[in-house]
Amino acid sequence: MADIFIGLGSNLGNRKKNIEKAIKKMAEHIQIIKVSPLYKTTPQEGVSGNWFFNGVIYGKTSLTPMKLLKFLQSIEEDLGRPINHKKNTARTIDLDILFYGNKIIKNKTLTIPHPKILEREFVIHGLSEVNKRFVHPLIKKTMAQIWKEFNNAGTQNKKRSLYSSRKSKDI
What is the average pLDDT value for the chain, to the nearest integer?
88
pLDDT reported for residue 89: 75
pLDDT reported for residue 167: 44
CATH number, domain of 37, equals 3.30.70.560
pTM for the model stands at 0.87
As a whole number of angstroms, the distance between CA 150 and CA 18 comes to: 29
pLDDT reported for residue 143: 97
As a whole number of angstroms, the distance between CA 17 and CA 55 comes to: 13
As a whole number of angstroms, the distance between CA 96 and CA 75 comes to: 12
Q: Which residues of the chain have pLDDT under 70?
A: 85-86, 154-171
Q: What is the pLDDT of residues 108-144, one digit of tens each?
A: 999 999 999 998 999 999 999 999 999 999 999 999 9
pLDDT reported for residue 157: 43
Please give the residue range of the domain that contains residue 131: 2-167
pLDDT reported for residue 85: 65
pLDDT reported for residue 152: 86
Residues 6+ apart with CB under 8 A from 87: none
Report the domain count for the chain: 1
